[in-house]
Structure 1
Amino acid sequence: MAWRRAKPAATPSRRPARHGRHGRTGRSPIVRPPLPPIDTRIERFDLAVGAAAEFLRSAWDELRDVSFEIGDMPGESGELGIPRWTVDTTRRRIIVWRLPIERLSHLHRDDDLHRRMMIESCVFRAAAEYLGMDPWDLGPERFRYF
């Protein structure tokens, strides 16, 4: 019986470096690069209220235990119109109403900076009403250089 030498196993052919499923070329990858985080009006409003509240809490000991809350729309309107915030000193809380601030505020320039400044000014005015002070007295060192 003659010995036959076994043929070397055929090496599998390599696919091109760029290929999709089933060996097809020109397809995009299944997983896309990470997308930027979703940035909504509600998230920007929450961030602006939170930043202003943390500044006020760090500056005033009387506000450390005060709860700053965000509501969508107040239940009833007063004789002066729709309130932008509600102060409850007995429960130690300040409620900032999002929709009246966003929809009824008249900005001279409608951009992100001025919207944020309007939100922060409402938080400052609500805290000033809670403390019985002028809003400009809450953060005098913040405006010293202007």
Structure 2
Amino acid sequence: MSDGDLISELYAGCFRRLVVQLYAVTGDLTEAQEAVQEAFTRALMAPGRFAGLENPEAWLRRVAVNWARSRFRRRRMLDGLLRRIGPPPAVADHSPEHSPCSRRCACCRRGSVSRWPCTTSSTCRWTRSRPRWACRPGR
């Protein structure tokens, strides 16, 4: 029997059983299925080593449980970091309709940077951040 046949036979025989066992661990069916799929993927990456195991189903279960635990830890850490930093700051609307001044500078009127409104009546962010030659007509 080839290595691929062994894995195919094992997949057909124990996929559902492993998913049910992982569902008891994770509490989420999608997460359990993903963990078992990851275990089979790792078995496919090294079929020769996998074929030499005495109990391949136990190995698949252990790999799937370890993967689910690692994912849970990462998610818990990310949730803690997100709670600590709080919600993202509000982003100001930089469309021309919401410009703080009524007229736009020459750079903005030319259309080179239409997404940045003028911040004062004489200059814009584009003019302050670029060299003088970049704002000359014809550039």
Flag whether TM exceeds 0.5 (same fold).
no
TM-score range, shorter chain: 0.3 to 0.5
Higher helix residue share:
2
The answer to which structure, 1 or 2, has the higher relative contact order (CA under 8 A, 6+ apart) is: 1
Higher strand residue share:
1
